Amino acid sequence: MKDYYLILGVNKNSSLEEIKTSYRKLAMKYHPDRNQGDKKSEDKFKEINEAYSILSDNIKREEYDNGFDNRINNNNFDFSSFDIFNDIFNFKKKKKKKIFDLEISLEESQLGVSKTLNIPLDKKCFLCLGKGFDKNKSVKCSNCLGYGYIVQGDSFFKIKQTCFNCEGKGFLIRKFCKQCLGKGIIKLHTKKIIYIKKNVEEGKKIPLNINDFKESVFINIIFKNHPLYKKKRLDIYYNFNINFVDMILGCKKKIKGLRNNDIFFKIPKLSRDNDVILIKNEGLYTEYNKGNMYIILKTILPKNISDKQLKLLKKFKKL
Ligand SMILES: [Zn+2]
Ligand SMILES: [Zn+2]
């Protein structure tokens, strides 16, 4: 396995900020635009991007630290679709990238889900063909007589200046397009059904194929807060309320897992408040990893008590 830390000139304890800084420097140095046709630089560039794609991602970095190899296949490396690079440098792209957040539940992330999206996208205004105004209703600029510029000076020395009156257009807009209100662009809501595969990672960007629009669209997966389960990376924490008698006597319990499964577990007798029961491999799954579930016992004391129960407790105290 390659040493990504070495490739980026950082070490295992480096912060994300340090990694970013180092990556930026190296990527600038070896970017193919600056090293036209240099195969060595190109390879180096791929290598540092590969390293950065792993070390900049908390989950992937941890997996890598634990000896897990999930690098991008070098042969299929495609610069045009490389998100991280575009994110950092904001290079000019053919299409504007638009990212929409999509919230899904933890269960949906584990089982897979299809969602219908209604995406607002920019499209060239069909009425004015993107110009933003009605050409027929515009009038010729009287200052430049429609040329858009003015020539000043004499036959020896001439200066051509953009017309201040029409800003070089040669005409004055009298009527903005009523469809796009002069912007030249309209928002169109496009329906799209997206299928999210099971075990999707939070933060994953899924490209949507939408033709004919000015933007390329990505869906950013976000996990909703769960009513019972708190997540920490792939692990799940569950504050489990249990009455004091069951804590003392011990018992068996059943809860619903994230994958529509039943989880059975035993609470040992004489358990104490905040005792933790580990249930392996019942946390979140990703394509390559499995988290655990931690059940934290929380004792509940009764709000009401019957005379009979009270009597028994008094008897218990005397024992
Ligand atoms: Zn003019
Ligand atoms: Zn228009």
Q: From ligand 1's centre to the CA of 161, what distance in Å?
A: 10
Q: From ligand 2's centre to the CA of 63, what distance in Å?
A: 51
Give the number of whichever ligand sits closest to the CA of residue 132: 2
Give the number of whichever ligand sits closest to the CA of residue 177: 2
Same domain, 145 and 179: no
Q: From ligand 2's centre to the CA of 185, what distance in Å?
A: 7
Query: Total structural domains in the chain?
Result: 4
The confidence score (pLDDT) of residue 78 equals 39
Same domain, 132 and 17: no
Same domain, 167 and 133: no
Same domain, 22 and 116: no
Give the number of whichever ligand sits closest to the CA of residue 170: 1
The confidence score (pLDDT) of residue 274 equals 97
| Boundaries of domain holding 159 | 139-172
- Measure the CA–CA gap between 109 and 260, rounded to whole angstroms: 12
Q: Within the chain, what is the greatest distance between any pair of CA atoms?
A: 120
Which CATH number do you get for residue 286? Answer: 2.60.260.20
| E strands in the chain | 96-104, 113-124, 139-140, 149-153, 158-162, 171-172, 185-196, 205-208, 215-223, 229-232, 235-243, 251-256, 262-267, 276-279, 293-300
Which CATH number do you get for residue 39? Answer: 1.10.287.110
Give the number of whichever ligand sits closest to the CA of residue 164: 1
Give the number of whichever ligand sits closest to the CA of residue 131: 2
Same domain, 69 and 161: no
The confidence score (pLDDT) of residue 76 equals 37
Same domain, 189 and 119: yes
Rounded mean pLDDT of 7-12? Answer: 92
The confidence score (pLDDT) of residue 95 equals 65
The reported pTM is 0.56
pLDDT digits (tens, 9 = 90+) for 191-239: 889 999 999 999 999 988 776 666 788 999 999 999 999 999 999 999 9
Q: From ligand 2's centre to the CA of 98, what distance in Å?
A: 22
Examine the fold and report which residue of 224, 246, 264 is the final residue of a domain before the chain moves on: 224
pLDDT digits (tens, 9 = 90+) for 31-68: 877 777 788 888 888 888 888 888 988 888 888 888 77
Q: From ligand 1's centre to the CA of 173, what distance in Å?
A: 11
Q: What value does the mean pLDDT of the chain take?
A: 86
Same domain, 89 and 197: no
Same domain, 254 and 312: yes
